[in-house]
Copies of this chain bind each other. A is one copy, B any other.
């Protein structure tokens, strides 16, 4: 069966790197923040193996930045975050659950603090900017909320460090995890962070100005040629092996950060101004929570809708992400499991499009 192609229009935005991604033979796209996000180059399995052994350049321009700038920037951000952001340093990145007043997750961005009154919120797939525009307007806050012309480009893989040292020097290579520094390219300062949506080593460059995109892409590709650098993308196998969550797949507005197993990023005693504080205080003991799960049998198809879990016929939750891992020779997944069934070692049954499979609740992710 031929899979439907992605119909193209201006509304599904190209990125500054799309021309090179096309030339590299992208086979599948997804759409993320109204923008193209490459999903497959050779095959998900082959891309995964290469990511773990070499180095890849990822067009993740779809990680749009929402800039909050002004005297009330920190106040606005903290209103929506149960994580205490008041101690952030100006070279730090924080992973932050963002919630509505009920504690439902709206997004799970990386926040970059650039100055005391200036943040970039590097968003997952939802238009968080409008929430900030609404709140800032309603509370009469002194803050600018806008999407700057910033397009992240990720260098990921075990050889990322060597490559980044070659390109930008030893001091940049020595950037600590979730810290950011500044590089210069074509006369333009750009933020670079040690971060990225894989468990391999890596960096993300916040390309400042779309006009620099192709030149920087080419510059990196040339410098990495002998390292077997390839165009790549967030990998659907590796990110499940690593337990990296995907907003919209693993959790939605229906879920609290506690349900998403992000309790360590919730500091309710330290965030008196978080609008969800009261709601989250009531929901600290979740009724369900994300768990790594293994499914029996042959490789399963992609998980394009939630697959229901049961235990002896009783509802036990659902699986929201699944993939076959060649390295672990197993169907792996991330499941939202009801409290009665979430202990490691519990066995459940999942209904997949190709029939029922046995499911094992695991204690840990794979890598």
**Using a CB–CB distance below 8 Å, which chain A residues touch chain B?**
2-14, 26-31, 34, 39-40, 100-101, 106, 125-128, 130-140, 236, 246-249, 275, 302-306, 320-321
Contacts and interface: CB of A to CB of B under 8 A. Distances in A.
A6 B59 CA distance: 16
A316 to B, nearest CB: 18
A126 B3 CA distance: 26
A7 B39 CA distance: 6
Given A137-B275, A138-B135, A138-B136, A31 B31 contact: yes
A36 to B, nearest CB: 9
A9 B304 contact: yes
B11 A125 contact: yes
Nearest to A3: B5
B4 A4 contact: no
Nearest to A130: B131
B27 A321 contact: no
Given A2-B27, A134-B137, A137-B138, 16 more contacts: A5-B5, A5-B6, A5-B29, A6-B28, A6-B30, A9-B236, A9-B246, A10-B306, A13-B305, A31-B31, A34-B248, A100-B133, A101-B137, A106-B130, A131-B133, A135-B137
Contacts of A106: 130
B127 A11 contact: no
Given A132-B134, A134-B137, A248-B34, A29 B4 contact: yes
A305 B8 CA distance: 9
A302 B8 contact: yes
**Residue in A13, A138, A321 with the greatest tally of chain B CB atoms within 10 Å:** A138
Given A7-B30, A31-B31, A303-B10, A134 B125 contact: no
B12 A321 contact: no
A4 B26 CA distance: 7
A39 to B, nearest CB: 3
A264 to B, nearest CB: 24
B10 A40 contact: no
